[in-house]
Amino acid sequence: MVKGREKIRVGIISYDLSEPRGGTKLALSLGNQLKAAGCEVAISCVKENIKDFEDFFGEKYDFKIYRAKRTFLSNRLVHYTALWNHREPTLGLIEEFKPHIVIEIGGIITSLMPAVQKGIPTIYYCTMPVSRYADVNIYKVNLLSKLQLKFFSLFENYLINRIDRVIAMCQFTERLIKQMWDKKIIIINPPTKISTFKQRGKKGRVILSVCRYDAAYQLDKLIETFRRISKENKLYELHLTAELSEKDKEYYEKLKASINPKERIYLHKNLSFDELLRLYNKAEIFWYTSFTHFGYIFVEAQASGIPVVAFKRMGGAEEIVVNGKSGFLVDDFDELYEKTKILINNRSLWQKMSKAARENSERFSMEVFRERFVDVIEEVLKRHAS
């Protein structure tokens, strides 16, 4: 770390750590990796429930947490009220923990306002700029939310040139940032503990998709595609797994009702990390048919030796999957079917792709992530010290 300092105190800001989502995992992984690099770490957030996620994410967490005691419209107007809701816990982190540097992780840039005002070095680790959420989100965004996001862009434009370093989590985020601001940025992809997903045991005739039970994922069409596969090869099973939220229950029940009990189609919900790991170990092929701007699941699947067949969506699949080597990128369900048939019928090709998938996953290891982030922190602190 930076010469002259025994330990660097890093404050991490993340809005919502109350649900086991990708952003939650990223914030907590960053904290753990910075601790492994010798930093002291504290986290500021509005909502938090991280101890319940240790089994789900397969990690242990031990951070000082600064959480909002009171929130204002936190569930309905999250973007508009972010500055209000973040201010109390962030000021607590700054005044008590006294960080040498503060990192916002997510996209709610206003949470960095107190640190910027106090002259503390800052890093904006952006998963997606909040003001672009309505433009690229696969879910419906109502008019009120769109107006909020337009208003929010004023804060983004004010703060972006007052922040020391901007990091994009992926190529998709990098493109969004470049469309908005003339700002030097680098990409640091989220990490995966590759060794955790090392193959244990024998593969089965399993096609796996880790998704959401939401109509945007077109799981009904995915199931129909599997039925086409089953007509030619009855040995295969399809396993779909997701966290089941309250708003997704109706679609989940509709899917469940459409499946004949004799079909080898299984809908899993709220699996533990160990249960998901067992599915990764058994699966031979991984399917994904929706947009994600990054996607841990592509890395996890490849680390488990699973060739990925995923839709092209200008997002994570195109950045993580090497088309024709560690998997296939396809345009539609017909092509998904055709490429899957190739993998099923050509075992030597499957073995070659499985090996390539494991090798490709190493690009996203914890060690690579930690080294790159530490380099950026050192660069920012040196610049401030000079």
Residue 201: give the domain boundaries.
194-363
Do 16 and 154 have their domain in common? yes
For 91-136, write each residue's pLDDT tens digit: 999 999 999 999 999 878 888 999 999 999 999 999 888 776 656 6
The number of C-alpha atoms within 13 Å of 349 and in the hemisphere containing its C-beta is 13
Report yes or no on 4 lying in a domain: no
Do 60 and 148 have their domain in common? yes
Q: Report pTM.
A: 0.85
What pLDDT is recorded for position 132? 67
Report yes or no on 134 lying in a domain: yes
Do 48 and 134 have their domain in common? yes
Surface-to-core class of residue 71, CB atoms within 10 Å of its CB (0-12 exposed, 13-18 middle, 19+ buried)? middle
Listed as own residue / partner, the contacts of 232-236 with beta carbons closer than 8 Å and 24 or more positions apart are 232/341, 233/205, 233/344, 234/264, 235/205, 236/205, 236/206, 236/207, 236/264, 236/344
Amino acid at the residue 31 = G
CATH number of the domain within which 315 lies: 3.40.50.2000
Contact predicate 242/206, CB 8 Å? no
Contact predicate 368/360, CB 8 Å? no
What is the spatial distance between Cα 340 and Cα 310, in angstroms, rounded to a whole number?
10
Q: What would the two tokens of residue 327 be?
A: 């998997």
Helices (H) and strands (E) in the chain, counts: 15, 15
Do 29 and 160 have their domain in common? yes
Q: Give me the tens of pLDDT residue by residue for the chain, a chain 386 residues long.
A: 544 456 899 999 998 888 888 888 899 999 999 999 999 999 999 888 888 888 778 788 999 999 887 665 555 444 455 667 888 899 999 999 999 999 999 878 888 999 999 999 999 999 888 776 656 654 565 666 666 666 667 778 888 989 999 999 999 899 888 988 888 899 999 999 999 998 777 899 999 999 989 888 999 999 999 999 999 988 999 999 998 888 899 999 999 999 998 999 999 998 988 899 999 999 999 999 988 888 889 999 999 999 999 998 757 899 999 999 999 999 999 999 999 999 999 999 999 999 999 999 999 999 999 999 999 999 999 998 87
Q: What is the four-CA torsion angle of 375, 379, 382, 386, rounded to 10 degrees?
A: 160
Q: Which residues of 213-223 are buried (b: 16+ CB within 10 A; e: fewer)?
A: bbeebbbeebb
Do 275 and 376 have their domain in common? no
Contact predicate 362/316, CB 8 Å? no
- Domain tally for the chain? 2
What pLDDT is recorded for position 3? 44
Report yes or no on 43 lying in a domain: yes
What pLDDT is recorded for position 2? 45
What pLDDT is recorded for position 148? 67
Do 21 and 157 have their domain in common? yes
Rounded alpha-carbon distances, angstroms, from residue 222 to 111, 116, 207, 306, 357 = 39, 47, 11, 18, 23
Amino acid at the residue 102 = V
Do 246 and 339 have their domain in common? yes
Do 14 and 158 have their domain in common? yes
Contact predicate 282/305, CB 8 Å? no
Do 169 and 307 have their domain in common? no
Report yes or no on 327 lying in a domain: yes
Q: Which residues of 289-322 are buried (b: 16+ CB within 10 A; e: fewer)?
A: bbbbbbbbbbbbbbbbbbbbbbbbbebbbbbbbb
CA 373 to chain centre: 17
Do 138 and 199 have their domain in common? no
Q: What angle do CA 171, 220, 227 make, to 5 degrees?
A: 110
Contact predicate 55/126, CB 8 Å? no
Q: Specify which residues 365 forms β-bridges with.
A: 192
Do 241 and 379 have their domain in common? no
Amino acid at the residue 239 = H
Rounded alpha-carbon distances, angstroms, from residue 139 to 104, 133, 290, 361 = 24, 10, 11, 29
Report yes or no on 2 lying in a domain: no
Q: What would the two tokens of residue 17 be?
A: 């750590």
What pLDDT is recorded for position 61? 92
- CA-closest candidate to residue 375, choices 94, 241, 186: 186
Do 242 and 260 have their domain in common? yes
What is the spatial distance between Cα 151 and Cα 145, in angstroms, rounded to a whole number?
10
Report yes or no on 1 lying in a domain: no
Q: What is the DSSP string of 3-31?
A: TT-S--EEEEE-SEESS--HHHHHHHHHH
Report yes or no on 3 lying in a domain: no
Q: What would the two tokens of residue 332 be?
A: 């539609």
What is the spatial distance between Cα 256 and Cα 258, in angstroms, rounded to a whole number?
5
